[in-house]
Structure 1
Amino acid sequence: MASISAVLSPTNLIHSSTKPAEILLKSVSFHRRRTHTLLRLSPGRPSRLFAALTAQDSSSVAERKLYVGNIPRNVDNEELTRIVEQHGAVEKAEVMYDKYSGRSRRFAFVTMKTVDDANAAIEKLNETDVGGRTIKVNITEKPVVNMVDMSLLEAEESQFIDSPHKVYVGNISSTVSTETLKNFFSEKDKVLSAKVSRVPGTSKASGYGFVTFSSEEEVEAAISSFNNVLLEGQPIRVNKA
């Protein structure tokens, strides 16, 4: 059977400041025919092969990454790892915390070593009791958000006026919008600004938000007036942020 070899030499490499480098691969013999293959390499742009491998790697991670919801507030990364690793090898566990209050948001993400580990963890842990709470465990889903939604959310975020006089509003229904939250609090006092927090990269509400005022007196009045009051069917929690 005829052999195939590739010859690379300095003369095969053509460098230019305006053109991508070119490598000439010369097959010496292939069924008595000579062929030449010219590969064009763009130093500043990733190859299609690299992009394909990166996509496959991202897909693999997505298949191993679990969402763990409704966990007790006292469960931290180490405790969550201990719980999950009883059913498969854990690569990383991360409990989500509110950056303002520092409290657990009662959900986490756990990346397992393999897809089999992920499936085993789901089978053994989903709908089980942890610290008196029934937890939810499943594969994380890629957020599906159209460009219009994202542009509106970005504009909404940029319009938020922060202030040292601010309240944290928890247990917000997923149907509550920023405008609804602002109008609700405006019934009693003049609101400076408001926003409903979203899961990063999506339009999904995180279940909490913030309302800002011009003075500390207005903050105290808002807490007194709205804490445990129903907003679209759910009693909201209002305290200083």
Structure 2
Amino acid sequence: MNSQTQVESRGTTMEDLKKRKLEEASNGQISSSPEELKLLLDPLSKSQLVDLLSKLGSQYPSIAEEIKSVASADPVHRKLFVRGLAWNTTSETLCAAFRLHGEIEEGAVIVDKTTGKSRGYGFITYKHMESTQSALQAPSKLIDGRMAVCNLACEGLSGASTTPDQAQRKLYIGGLAPDVTSEVLLSFFGRHGEIEEGSVAYDKETNESRGFGFVTYKTVEAAKKAIDDPQKFLGGRSIIVKLADSHKGKMIQAQLSTAVVPIALPLAAGYPQQPGKPPASATPVAYTYPQAGATYPAYPGPPTGPAPYSSTAPAPYPSQPQMPYSSATVMKDPLGLPPTPTVGMGGYPYYFAKQ
């Protein structure tokens, strides 16, 4: 074999090796070890990793299945919290409303353990994470006449209402007629814009309307249109439309103004009472000293003497100034009778001279 033949044979071998490596790379058989790949991926940001995995998943179905399996392994990414349910909504009707987004692994309405009645919320757990994401694209659903709202259960009660402008989007609707249902309410206010959440407030025991409700729009502009709309007439009545926060503030202020009630406290025993019959709750009060277990009776009041005359009969003689006997000049009675003693303030004797 001459030198030219050897070069051609070697060139053919190099081409075969290159083709083989390309085929292995296209088939996912990468020669790099996992440690080497981790070192390459570690400096990348989250957005870069998401873009990379998205491209690989769209090109290779096996990678897409692996991504779905890892993402759906933790149920925290597949569980929804649903609030605003009607009191008569059951677990079956709840699951039926959410089944259109995908296969449900578990779903139930939470009920009170004592009464067995619904508590107005429930949970839905999908089998796949993409079903959960699909349901979150349309979080509001009309179930049994009430607009229910869902969000990820890990976000808690405020997961769907954490936007800073929520106070400007939620309206209080008052003065509703008893026959106005949630469907009628949502239909009436839906002309101003898309509604995120809303329903008539119902009594838990009787399931009857309480005469008011709430509507939360998706935009502040829609809420302003509803407030400024002069046509506030629904169900044969003139209704009240205002921001829910302003109504809440007035309710709190009214409760505070009526919460302070003056109470007449009974005076302790040993002190003078007001004229009239003492209150029934007036009881003697014992004063205690710091010594443990030592209790002392109430201190007695000053002595009081009988009134010199009846309160209903006129005084037989004109009233005279009372003076202590030691310093008073006593006029002798014309008949020679001695002066009449009486007891005055502090127990000192006073004398009146008869005329």
* TM-score bin (small chain): 0.3 to 0.5
TM-score between the two structures when normalised by the length of structure 1: 0.36
TM-score between the two structures when normalised by the length of structure 2: 0.25
Larger radius of gyration: 2
Structure (1 or 2) with the greater helix fraction: 2
